[in-house]
Structure 1
């Protein structure tokens, strides 16, 4: 399957990001001899989702996913915390979904915000998975932003040339502001591309504005891919795409680092439901293989899945790709 004559690349200029200031920041302005002070609210990730959906609707006909009726909001164990969810689909996009934990109660009790936005294609297309996972607390921000590949990119492949070669400039635009965030396990790195932004930073207006711009540029590049990609008609390739996506979903549903937070907020039963049925929907629909089928090294003596994050024991403390996107380990 090829993408047609035009190359994939960032076809849009990111919109000018709105001004965002961290929570409880006092902003002072001077006009002549007068002094004006006012307090501004916390960073809002709702605008990230709204902007992505606005960009999508300009070029793609979206309709609500069947998941939207079942998952729109959820109340936490405290009776106050609200989880907000959105779910859409299109003829090519199997699921475009958003999850946000972002309200004054959460900020007051736990002092954090969570944003998880993802796009998954139908198996007839081998387009990467859009992945944006943002965690913001009082002291730090943890960000993963990537176009997760359906094929492992530790070796140079046609898939990498097809989807990433022409858009590496997006990563380099932000790499100084958002440096590598520390250790990633060898198991996890298989699901990332050389475009990945994995970073930690302290909150500031400039950083959040830059993150908003990066989010939109990555998303616009992914959206352009979904528009240009041609449907695969070879049954074996469709099956390969389906299994690759199912393997990814199976890994994320089992090993996603957000599981602990969801369990704390909503209980273990609801946390597992959210992971398997909403966040990584497709685990039960796209295939029948289990986590152990894909990752037998995680099987314990009693046949259950090990809780360890890594079995290999290797991690990458620095970025394992060079500036051209070549894996150097």
Structure 2
């Protein structure tokens, strides 16, 4: 989840309830395939917050070609709303991961919307061309309406695609309608990828896809910025379960490598994970890709 802190005036009522985003996605998916409740849905369907004013809504499904499609919305009346929506293909397909993270206060919304690449597009040009070359107009359509949200570290960039929308905007009705439009457009593209996807029979390639998805899940599980808020709302044990068994379900099943196996550069002298490392390295104040999806930099150390 992408959480931030905001204050000031305004009203959450100016935005759209994020359940509307979820309903759209489920309806669009059901037009194309059959959704089956995922086992994680029963376990997390009724999440009770220690704060009686905060409402959780968790849904998860699977389908042919789709390993996991899940959503989590959180709403605290007159305070904040959260949308965390993601969709993962089965490992027999190398599809990007649909990702929508929104945190809204009365003052502002912090947004990440992307088709996260399974393979690093700066290294795998063939993967970038396969999935992003023909959809670059999407980000051009929204880059002015939903401008780049400011500095972001190069470590975060490794799991973003050239069409990522990373933005912070005032919580107005107009801005939330623009976001809703972007969500619909991006999700329709992901569903088209699902429709067109051809099953991979080469077991070596399937294993590579599985490992790349596990690597992504391992990163997100460790780096989830929403964990402190979840811990505050539902307690540490339940928050850890929600992150590992719902939000990033598969992290304990798709592979056995640890975070430091994938990212040894984060190893501290005592062998633990260096939590502060994310604060160093290059940061990007402006969108670091050109209209062709090529990384152009504009980073500062």
TM-score (norm 2): 0.92
Task: Give the CA deviation at 1:312.
Answer: 4.9
Q: 1:124 to 1:93 in 2, by over 3 A?
A: same
Q: CA RMSD in A?
A: 1.5
**3-state SS of the aligned residue for 1:150?**
coil
- 2:192 paired with 1:224: yes
Residue number in structure 2 paired with 1:4: none
Structure 1, residues 17-48: CA drift from partner, whole Å, max 9, x if none? xxxxx737xxxxxxxxxxxxxxx676301000
In our comparison, the structure showing a higher alpha carbon Rg is: 1
Any conservation in 2 of the 1:247–1:294 contact (CA below 8 Å)?
A: yes
Q: Aligned with 1:74: secondary structure?
A: coil
Residue 42 to residue 185, structure 1, CA distance change in 2 (3 Å) = closer
Matched with 2:11 is: 23
Tell me if 1:46 matches 2:16: no
Question: Any residues of structure 2 matched to 1:1-329 within 5 Å, and which?
Answer: 23=11, 43-102=16-75, 106-108=76-78, 111-155=79-123, 157-308=125-276, 310=278, 312-329=280-297
Cα displacement (A) at 1:291:
0.4
Q: CA deviation at 1:76?
A: 1.2
1:160-215 deviation line (CA, Å, top 9, x unaligned): 11111111111111110111101221111010000100000001121111110100
Superposition deviation, residue 156 in structure 1: 6.0
What stretches of structure 2 of length at least 5 have no aligned partner? Answer: 1-9
Q: Is the 8 A contact 2:89 2:95 kept in 1?
A: yes
Partner Cα distance (2:158, 2:30) in 1:
32
Residues 156 and 327, structure 1, Cα contact 8 Å, conserved in 2? no
Please give the per-residue CA displacement for 1:94-145, whole angstroms capped at 9, x wherever unaligned: 000000002xxx124xx11100000011110000000000000111100000
Look up the match of 2:4.
Answer: none
- The answer to whether the Cα contact below 8 Å between 2:266 and 2:277 also exists between their aligned partners in 1 is no
Distance in 2 between residues matched to 1:41 and 1:326, nearest whole Å: 36
Check whether the contact 1:23–1:43 (CA below 8 A) recurs between aligned residues.
no
Report the secondary structure of 1:73's partner residue: coil
Aligned partners of 2:279 and 2:267: how far apart in 1? 10
Residue segments in structure 1 that go unaligned for 5+ positions in a row: 1-21, 25-39
Cα shift at 1:82: 2.4
* Structure 2 Cα separation of the partners of residues 130 and 120 of structure 1: 7
Corresponding residue pairs, total:
288
Residue 81 of structure 1: how far off its partner (Å): 2.3
> TM-score with structure 1 length normalisation?
0.84
Change (3 A) 1:76 1:147: same
Aligned equivalents of 2:68, 2:169: Cα separation in 1 = 30
